[in-house]
Amino acid sequence: NGYYWSAWSKCFHSSRDFSDMVYVQNYIFNKDVFIQFNSTVGEYVGYTALGVHNAEIYNKDPNILQQMRASVET
């Protein structure tokens, strides 16, 4: 009888040299993804009203985007 919040980050690839690496970070509230960063897209995407609002804020900050885009390399 409370709220459920979680986040996960994962790298996906299918080649042995990792040249097709994709970094995905999901933020989940009450078992629904509300915002996601995907390195293929290169910015945050919101899936709920709160997620869209946060995505707009995060996407306006070049430091956040630079850090997230570099995550695929690490």
Taking only the tens place, the pLDDT of each residue in 13-58 is 888 887 788 899 999 999 899 999 999 999 999 999 999 999 999 9
> Cα separation of 38 and 25, whole Å?
7
pLDDT of residue 13: 86
Going from N- to C-terminal start, the domains of the chain cover 34-73
Reported as a pLDDT band with limits 50, 70 and 90, residue 1 is low
Q: Is the pLDDT of residue 59 over 90?
A: yes
pTM of the predicted protein model: 0.83
> Quick one: average pLDDT of 51-66?
95
> Cα separation of 11 and 48, whole Å?
24
Q: Where are the beta strands (DSSP E) in the chain?
A: 5-12, 22-29, 32-38, 43-46
